[in-house]
Structure 1
Amino acid sequence: MNRTPRPTDLRRRRFLTRAALAGGTLLLAGCDRLTRSDAMRQVFDTGSALTQGVQRLLASRQALAREYSPADIAPTFRANGTTNPDDATYRRLAADGFRDWRLTIDGLVETPLSLSLAELKAMPSRTQITRHDCVEGWSCIGQWTGVVLGDLLARAGVRDEARFVVFHCADRYRGGDPYYESLDMLEAYHPQTLLAYDLNGADLPIANGAPLRLRAERQLGYKMAKYVMRVELVESFASLGRGRGGYWEDRGYQWWAGI
């Protein structure tokens, strides 16, 4: 059972959140230049690992991100990143209301899955009102409904050697490499980690990631992949992108984005 956080714990968590956001902003402002240096990559990676370790020391494995009331929901949920993928297959699926779209779950699993949007919506769901914190400095509160990722992983049967869950997406940010993101198993099994298909009581809009997007509420916004097409269980990132666990991580962002 989770204990009630003490005031000292809350002060420490607020300090860590501010420090993480400040560090992230500094990193993003100069990542194109700084991350060309292997030495600077080591500095950022060490800082990321330290932040992750301290946060998990102070917080319960199942500690929940704050949830809000319906009165706090923003009138319009701001979209981040790609807002209308130009992939031909995606556009064909969107034109038909995603009736032929399917989510693939494979990799290091006992039972690979292929699920339609209707099948996902027929599964037990969770609804939560949470705040999206973007590394660019803005926040927005919205209500999300979707399938708890841990339930899908249990259904697929994760093999012991799997260490990460990778989300492959339909978009290519500004026409570049395919977008992807990843979580470790602790965040993947967190009760607030959803594959969401509904925003504010309606089907997820294309600008916000339709038909399915990741919500990992203890992470910054760039971790919350949109337009998810495939979930892959892997042991390492070696064969993915540039080997750092995500589209933006391959370009200098920290892999650990906990807040």
Structure 2
Amino acid sequence: QPQRPNGVTAPDDDVYKGLLANNFADWRLEVSGLVEKPLSLSREQLQNMPSRTQITRHDCVEGWSCIAKWTGTPLSLVLDQAMVKPQARYVMFHCLDTIDRSLSGDIKYYGSIDLVDARHPQTILAYGLNGKPLPVENGAPLRVRVERQLGYKMPKYLYKIELVDGFATVGGGRGGYWEDNGYDWYGGI
């Protein structure tokens, strides 16, 4: 049975549509901010790193849940490769899906977790779902799985990870799109 999609199920973004048209061959995951070694990783490079497969339950803030098998690269391995600086406290996730449109510009989905959750063994950058490549409606080419938190803390359509020491300069300054709109920063289950 397919994993129930949540949020945006097909980004209406020209950059995303172009990446999808060539099966994400040109997509890169950028890792920047408070790191010694900024990274630009292809999907193939991520898939060639050690992976983890886990069967876990997705809990949505809307009250539904479902169980699925996720495969991906542990986020901790990517952070280790980037050599996180000591002053970094949070991991910001920047995504390709437009979540809000306004006259001042489109707002792309973004979110964050602390380094404790980022380094948890079950926190992965998922590229597989139920033994197949991650489908578009579930976040292809890459989404975050943070199994200790609710679904809004697991961004889809990921293209950039940024290590920061605070949120003041990002969005509304609360650490994520939904947090800027009243949700708790920690969405623990």
Asked if these proteins are the same fold (TM beyond 0.5), I'd say yes
Match of 1:151 among 77, 95, 99: 77
1:170 alignment partner in structure 2? 96
- How big is the shift at 1:76? 1.7
- How big is the shift at 1:148? 0.1
Report if aligned partners of 1:93, 1:99 keep a CA contact under 8 Å in 2: yes
Higher strand share: 2
* Aligned equivalents of 2:81, 2:100: Cα separation in 1: 35
- How big is the shift at 1:177? 1.6
1:224 alignment partner in structure 2? 154
1:204 alignment partner in structure 2? 134
* CA deviations over 1:25-83 (Å, ceiling 9, x no partner): xxxxxxxxxxxxxxxxxxxxxxxxxxxxxxxxxxxxxxxxxxxxxxxxxx121000000
Counterpart check, 1:76 vs 2:6: no
Letter in 2 for 1:80: N
* Aligned equivalents of 1:82, 1:196: Cα separation in 2: 17
- How big is the shift at 1:174? 5.0
Which is worse superposed, 173-182 or 98-107? 173-182
1:107 alignment partner in structure 2? 33
* Aligned equivalents of 1:98, 1:177: Cα separation in 2: 22
Figure out how many residues of one structure are paired with residues of the other and give that number: 185
1:190 alignment partner in structure 2? 120
Report if aligned partners of 1:82, 1:174 keep a CA contact under 8 Å in 2: no
* Aligned equivalents of 1:185, 1:232: Cα separation in 2: 12
Higher helix share: 1
Structure 2: where are the runs of 5+ without partners? none
Report if aligned partners of 1:181, 1:225 keep a CA contact under 8 Å in 2: yes
RMSD of aligned residue pairs (Cα, Å): 0.7
Q: Report the TM-score when normalising by structure 2.
A: 0.96
Match of 1:118 among 44, 67, 74: 44
Which stretches of structure 1, 4 residues or longer, exceed 2 Å deviation after superposition?
none
Match of 1:244 among 159, 168, 174: 174
Letter in 1 for 2:153: K
* CA deviations over 1:87-110 (Å, ceiling 9, x no partner): 101110001000010000000000
1:17 alignment partner in structure 2? none
Letter in 1 for 2:161: V
Structure 1: where are the runs of 5+ without partners? 1-74
SS in 2 for 1:141: strand
Match of 2:145 among 208, 215, 239: 215
